[in-house]
Amino acid sequence: MKVLGIETSCDECSCAVVEDGKKILSNVIVSQFDVHKPYSGVVPELASRAHAEMILPVYREALKEAGLELTAIDGIAATSRPGLLGALLVGLSFAKALAYTRRLPFAAADHIRAHLYAPHIEHDIEYPYIGLLASGGHTLITKISSFDDIEVLGATLDDACGEAFDKVAKYYGFGFPGGAAVDALAQKGDARAFRFPQPSLHKGEHRYDVSYSGLKTAAVNQLDMFHVPGCEKSPANIAASFQKAAIDMLLTRVFRAAEDTGIRRIAAGGGVAANSYLRSALASQRGFEIVFPSARLCTDNGAMIAALGFELFRRGRISPWTETAQARVAAFRKA
C-alpha cells in the first residue's frame, strides 16, 4: 500500500510517499528557515502563509521523486495535531480535499505518535520499549507496549528540550535553527568548561520528568557561577557544556525508566534525536538495544506521517471528513 504523508505542523512543509510503512519512495522536506530566520523563531502566521504557497509544489515533487501519478496512491495521511493551528490546517485541508476528490481513504495523524513511530520505518522493533521523544515542542519519556499502548512516564515541567536549545542559541546568536547550531558549535568545545546544574527530580511523581528552566537560566544569566576556573568562556565551550547538561538530563531519565521497568530496548525520535552527542551517548551504552531513525526522519518529515498512516489504514482506522486540526496534545495514558 502506497501512502502519501503530509506534514505541516510547524516550519517544515513535507510530503512523502511510503510503501507499506517501510519503503520510502520520496520524502520531500522544504524548511522555512529563511522565512523565520530574521525573528530567530517560528512566526505562526508566516508559517501558515508559507505552507499555503509551498504545499502544491512540495506535493508534486514528492510524486515526481517517487515516479508515481496520484492514481498509484492508495491512501493519504496528514498531521492533524498538535502544532500551529493555521499551519496544520493547510496540510490537513489539502490532504482531505485530495482524498475526497480521489475517493481515497484519509487518516489524521498525531504528530507525537508519528515521531515515536519513526524508528519503526528503518528498523523492526519489538515491543515493549522505552520511547524517547524530544523535539522543539515536546519532551516525553514513554513505555511503549504495543502500537496503541503508549504510557507516558515522564515529560517536561516547563520548556521542551529542543526549545531550550533554541532559546540558548538565540540568546548567544549561535545560529538558527538553534539545536543544530549548538550541536555544530559544541563539536569544537569543551563540555567541562561549565558545570551547569541538573534539576533534582528524583522522587515520587517526577521520577522521569525533566525541567529546563534552571539550566536555561544558568546558561544565559549565571554563566560565571557555573564556570570552571581555568577553562575558556568561549561560545563553543558554552554550547558544549549546555548540550551535555541538556542531553544528560534526558539520558538519566531514559535509563532510570529502563532500569525500573526492566526494558532493555530504547528508541528515540524527534528533532533532538538528531543530536550527535545524544546519539553517541546512547549508542555507547552496553547491554541495550538502541534504535534511532536516520537524522532526516528525526526532524519533521512526511515519511513518518505516511508510515503511521499505513499502520492506521491497516487497522481500518479511516478518519471522518469532519476531522479537523487541533493545536493541543492528545491525552496519553499517564503512568
Q: What residues line the site for ligand KG4 (CB under 6 A)?
A: 10, 115, 135-137, 162-163, 165-166, 177-180, 183, 270-272, 274-275, 299-300
Report the residue from 14, 80, 135, 142 that binds Zn ion according to the rule CB under 5 A. Answer: 135
CA distance 189 to 314: 47
Q: Which is nearer to ligand KG4, 79 or 99 (CB)?
A: 79
Q: Which is nearer to Zn ion, 121 or 238 (CB)?
A: 121
Q: Which is nearer to ligand KG4, 110 or 183 (CB)?
A: 183
Q: Report the amino acid identity of residue 183.
A: D
How do 289-291 and 106-110 pair as beta strands? unpaired
* Concatenated DSSP letters of 123-186: S--PSPEEEEEE-SS-EEEEEE-SSS-EEEEEEBSSS-HHHHHHHHHHHHT--SSHHHHHHHHH
Binding range to Zn ion, per CB under 5 A, among 13-21, 30-38, 133-141, 152-160: 133-141
Nearest-approach distance from CB 34 to ligand KG4, in angstroms: 16
From the list ligand KG4, Zn ion, none, partner contacted by residue 177 (C-beta under 5 to 8 A by kind): ligand KG4
CA distance 309 to 210: 30
Q: Hey, what's the cell of 205?
A: 511523581
Q: Which is nearer to ligand KG4, 63 or 246 (CB)?
A: 246
With H, G, I as helix, E, B as strand and everything else as coil, classify residue 10.
coil
Query: Is residue 14 within the footprint of Zn ion (CB under 5 A)?
Result: no
From the list ligand KG4, Zn ion, none, partner contacted by residue 209 (C-beta under 5 to 8 A by kind): none
Nearest-approach distance from CB 134 to ligand KG4, in angstroms: 7
Site string (298-327) toward Zn ion, x via CB under 5 A:
--x---------------------------
Nearest-approach distance from CB 69 to ligand KG4, in angstroms: 30
Phi, psi of 266 (to 5 degrees): -130, 135
Nearest-approach distance from CB 82 to Zn ion, in angstroms: 9
Q: Which helix (H) or strand (E) holds 277?
A: helix 276-283
Q: Let me know: does 8 contact 29? Beta carbons within 8 Å.
A: no
Nearest-approach distance from CB 116 to Zn ion, in angstroms: 11
Q: Let me know: does 305 contact 58? Beta carbons within 8 Å.
A: no
From the list Zn ion, ligand KG4, none, partner contacted by residue 193 (C-beta under 5 to 8 A by kind): none
CA distance 149 to 197: 34
Nearest-approach distance from CB 229 to ligand KG4, in angstroms: 28
Q: Which is nearer to ligand KG4, 105 or 136 (CB)?
A: 136
Nearest-approach distance from CB 38 to Zn ion, in angstroms: 22
CA distance 139 to 159: 8
Question: For Zn ion, how many residues bind (rule: CB under 5 A)?
Answer: 2
Q: Let me know: does 271 contact 298? Beta carbons within 8 Å.
A: yes
Could you tell me the CA-to-CA distances from 95 to 80, 90, 322 in Å, in that order? 10, 9, 13
Q: Hey, what's the cell of 3?
A: 501512502
Closest CA to 121 of 296, 245, 314: 296
Q: Which is nearer to Zn ion, 48 or 135 (CB)?
A: 135
Nearest-approach distance from CB 68 to ligand KG4, in angstroms: 26
CA distance 257 to 250: 11
Binding range to Zn ion, per CB under 5 A, among 118-126, 130-138, 202-210, 302-310: 130-138
Query: Is residue 139 within the footprint of Zn ion (CB under 5 A)?
Result: no
The site for Zn ion (CB under 5 A) is made up of 135, 300
